[in-house]
């Protein structure tokens, strides 16, 4: 075991894949004694100390870079030892990392390398463990093309060279058990890439990060933080699902300090608000770690860690649990479509395009300047699916809204001719991404059957919400982007509604082709698009508010689940600003307080009605009464229940005149108004008059009976049979 100068240099540089071969204690052969070696680039002296402290032997500095060595003539090695490093003004005793076998072996990473490991974070990353009777941290990082990797962190005073990592062979991973590392220590990987560029990288599997500009990973306890177990519910398509979408940092501010609320402060206020508003779920814009505030979390650098901005992972878990305790589910935005090009994170991780495609026609997002994942690489699939599973197990979240699915499905998304590479069949589908999404949905649903999976997908790609077993992608729901755009176009053109009536009715042609969510999200109130209330394009505030009330009533009564972005529920006038809180002072004005009350009541009716939600995706439960009244700008339809008394008649008047007419109804009897958006409680005038009606036995609108009643201008009335 004589070491050459080149081997010493390789240990110091980390270029050797097995530093344990040379470092630590090694036999020199039968009856020739032992050699002890250590690296400490900053030490003046290094000694080896026996377990009983009775023997202290000074090592010789054999390389000015900080390589120390001593030969021990004893025929018996130390059963246990430490090193004592002496510096100019202090000394430090440490257990030798190179005296330990690997905590994880290459065979432990087989499923990770095959792309089927749903819990790679149980092996990769910084995992506190007890190994060979010693407490420490196992570090494993995937970087198959790296020439060397050193660990550096609080635990070695950020020494860049004294902790080279060992290769785990064909797994492409490097590992090191560090006995003096502990929970709370910051660390990074110092990676010499295949391109000979040295980069300091954060841990892709880190469970916690420090703020920029440091961006270091932090060793974290990996135990589950939220033991809350959601009770089993009925099939997702039959549930009432009304989602409050929100950005944690701009919902409310701490007034005295002019800053966003922390996770703990949110846990004291948000659950009560969601309960008051009767939402079934809250959806958090990506809570994963991200460096650039203006990305709102959509450019993720820490897929396993809640952002540091509002507190610790433990405090994020408290927020999740506090929301669930009032009966509201927690959904998070999850971003497997792309990642930022920041050098400290995933980009060019080992000096090659490891997580991303090498060719920019595949590997760089044309619109956002971010990197596109290489879903054909097995380890990338394991990494992403592991991220999804970890949020379910660690924090107990109830599901995902998967961002930018369309950009994943199409190779030519946002690209011009010549800027993309066809698949092996010559088409524009990203076949690898399609298989990844199927695998993702199958994985989470097999592990957690009650978890929701919602796709933000803006095209007509088929079978988004069909199970993989029949060729679908396996999502539970899909945002209905077509309906959203058509409906907002209609409401934004009050002077031309008679000529664009089809924008309200066309959606029924495809409404039941997928399990849709009718969503007015953050995307509709940013980047110069203005607020929802200002999209109504009317001069008077009372008129704009009346239109917004009718829009929400249409959204809630239209088939499909519901999503509404924060601030819209009370008519925020300004466009959403991620750096400022919502304008809660508007609730001092009756029109805004009335709109908020309407949304709460719509949610309450939707969630408590016996069949309203269960019929969301049943075509035979929806029927037009009159969809042709473009001149009168009215629209009417039925939502059938299991019993006649469950049936709802929705009559909409989107004109600026009160409309009195006969409306067809399917059942005879006494009908009453369940909700009227023009009611004074909501800021309306109550101009529709009576709210109880008896049907007459004459056919109207193709229905066997009729009802005669008025609907105020710019308002919606929901009627049901008296029980």
Which tokens is 209 given? 């990060």
State the sign of the Cα–Cα–Cα–Cα dihedral 614, 619, 622, 627.
positive
Between CA 387 and CA 203 the distance in angstroms is: 13
Reduce the DSSP state of residue 297 to 3 states and report it. Answer: coil
> Cα torsion for 284, 264, 326, 317, to the nearest 10°?
70
Reduce the DSSP state of residue 90 to 3 states and report it. Answer: coil
Which residues contact residue 253 at a Cβ distance below 8 angstroms, ignoring those fewer than 6 apart?
Answer: 259, 260, 261, 580, 581
> In terms of Cα–Cα distance, which of 211, 195, 149 is closest to 16?
149
Cβ atoms of residues 546 and 687 within 8 Å: no
3-state DSSP of 447-508: HCCCCEEEECCCCCCCCCCCCHHHCCCCCCEEECHHHHHHHHHHHCCHHHHHHCCHHHHHHH
- Give catalytic residues, as residue numbers: 403, 456
What is the per-residue burial (b if ≥16 Cβ within 10 Å, else e) of 677-687? bbbeebbbeee
Distance of CA 162 to the CA centre of its chain: 37
Between CA 683 and CA 714 the distance in angstroms is: 13
What is the per-residue burial (b if ≥16 Cβ within 10 Å, else e) of 354-380? bbbbeeebbbbbbebebbbbbbbbebb
Between CA 2 and CA 22 the distance in angstroms is: 9
Helix axes of 590-608 and 263-277: crossing angle, nearest 10 degrees: 70
> In terms of Cα–Cα distance, which of 268, 250, 269 is closest to 260?
250
Between CA 187 and CA 221 the distance in angstroms is: 15
Cβ atoms of residues 659 and 648 within 8 Å: no
> In terms of Cα–Cα distance, which of 533, 509, 554 is closest to 654?
554
Count the Cβ atoms, other than its own, within 10 Å of residue 93: 12
Which tokens is 41 given? 């680039």
Check whether the bond before 213 is cis (ω within 30° of 0).
Answer: yes
What does DSSP say about strands 24-27 and 60-63: parallel, antiparallel, or unpaired? unpaired
How many residues does the structure list for the chain? 723
Terminal alpha carbon distance of the chain:
91
Between CA 516 and CA 289 the distance in angstroms is: 29
- Based on its alpha-carbon atoms, the radius of gyration of the chain, rounded to whole angstroms, reads 31
Q: What residues form DSSP beta bridges with 243?
A: 281, 563
Q: What residues form DSSP beta bridges with 720?
A: 648, 672
């Amino acid at each position: 075991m004589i070491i050459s100068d080149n081997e010493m240099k390789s240990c110091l540089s980390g270029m050797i894949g097995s530093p344990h071969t040379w470092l630590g204690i090694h036999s020199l052969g039968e009856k020739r004694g032992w050699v002890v070696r250590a690296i400490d680039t900053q030490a003046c002296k290094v000694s080896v100390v026996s377990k009983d402290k009775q023997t202290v032997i000074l090592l010789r500095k054999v390389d000015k870079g900080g390589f120390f060595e001593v030969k021990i003539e004893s025929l018996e090695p130390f059963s246990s030892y430490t090193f004592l490093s002496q510096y100019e003004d202090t000394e430090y005793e440490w257990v030798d990392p190179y005296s330990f076998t690997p905590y994880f072996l290459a065979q432990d990473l087989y499923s990770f390398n095959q792309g089927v490991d749903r819990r790679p974070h149980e092996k990769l990353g910084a995992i506190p463990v007890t190994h060979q009777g010693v407490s420490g941290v196992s570090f494993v990082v995937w970087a198959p093309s790296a020439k060397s990797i050193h660990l550096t962190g609080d635990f070695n005073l950020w020494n860049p060279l004294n902790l080279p990592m060992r290769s785990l062979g064909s797994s492409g991973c490097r590992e090191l058990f560090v006995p003096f590392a502990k929970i709370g220590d910051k660390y990074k990987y110092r990676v010499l890439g295949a391109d000979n560029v040295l980069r300091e990288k954060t841990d892709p599997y880190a469970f916690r990060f420090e703020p920029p500009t440091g961006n270091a990973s932090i060793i974290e306890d990996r135990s589950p933080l939220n033991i809350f177990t959601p009770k089993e519910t009925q099939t997702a398509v039959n549930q009432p699902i009304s989602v409050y979408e929100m950005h944690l940092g701009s919902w409310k501010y701490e007034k005295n300090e002019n800053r966003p609320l922390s996770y703990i402060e949110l846990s004291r206020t948000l659950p009560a608000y969601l309960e008051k508003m009767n939402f079934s779920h809250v959806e958090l814009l990506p809570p994963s770690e991200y460096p650039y505030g203006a990305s709102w979390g959509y450019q993720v650098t820490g897929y396993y860690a809640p952002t540091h901005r509002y507190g610790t992972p433990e405090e994020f878990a408290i927020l999740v649990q506090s929301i669930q305790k009032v009966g509201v589910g927690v959904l998070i935005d999850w971003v497997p479509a792309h990642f930022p090009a920041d050098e400290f994170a995933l980009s060019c991780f080992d000096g090659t395009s490891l997580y991303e495609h090498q060719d920019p026609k595949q590997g760089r997002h044309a619109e956002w300047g971010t990197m596109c994942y290489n879903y054909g690489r097995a380890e990338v699939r394991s990494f992403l699916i592991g991220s999804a599973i970890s949020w379910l197990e660690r924090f107990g979240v109830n599901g995902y809204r998967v961002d930018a699915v369309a950009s994943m499905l199409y190779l030519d998304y946002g690209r011009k001719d010549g800027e993309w590479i066809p698949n092996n069949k010559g088409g524009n589908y990203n076949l690898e991404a399609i298989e990844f999404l199927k695998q993702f949905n199958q994985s989470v649903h097999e592990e957690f059957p009650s978890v929701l999976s919602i796709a933000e997908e803006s095209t007509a790609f088929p079978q988004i919400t069909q199970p993989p077993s029949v060729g679908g992608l396996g999502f539970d729901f899909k945002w209905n982007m077509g309906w959203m755009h058509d409906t907002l176009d209609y409401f934004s053109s009050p002077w031309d509604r008679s000529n664009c009536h089809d924008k309200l009715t066309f959606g029924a042609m495809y409404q039941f082709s997928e399990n849709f969510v009718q969503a007015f999200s953050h995307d509709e109130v940013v980047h110069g698009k203005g607020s929802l209330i200002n999209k109504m394009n009317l001069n008077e505030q009372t008129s704009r508010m009346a239109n917004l009330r009718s829009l929400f009533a249409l959204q809630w009564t239209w088939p499909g689940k519901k999503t509404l972005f924060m601030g819209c529920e009370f008519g925020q006038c300004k466009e959403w600003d991620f750096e400022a809180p919502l304008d809660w002072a508007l609730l001092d004005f009756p029109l805004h307080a009335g709109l908020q009350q309407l949304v709460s009541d719509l949610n309450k009716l939707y969630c408590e009605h016996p069949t309203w939600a269960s019929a969301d995706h049943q075509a035979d439960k929806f029927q037009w009464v009159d969809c042709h009244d473009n001149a009168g700008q009215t629209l009417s339809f039925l939502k059938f229940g299991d019993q006649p008394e469950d049936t709802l008649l929705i009559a909409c008047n989107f004109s600026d005149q009160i409309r009195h007419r006969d409306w067809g109804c399917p059942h005879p009897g006494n009908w009453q108004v369940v909700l009227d958006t023009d009611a004074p409680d909501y800021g309306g005038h109550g101009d529709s008059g009576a709210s109880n009606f008896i049907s007459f036995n004459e056919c109207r609108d193709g229905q066997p009976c009729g009802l005669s009643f008025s609907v105020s201008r710019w308002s919606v009335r929901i009627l049901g049979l008296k029980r």
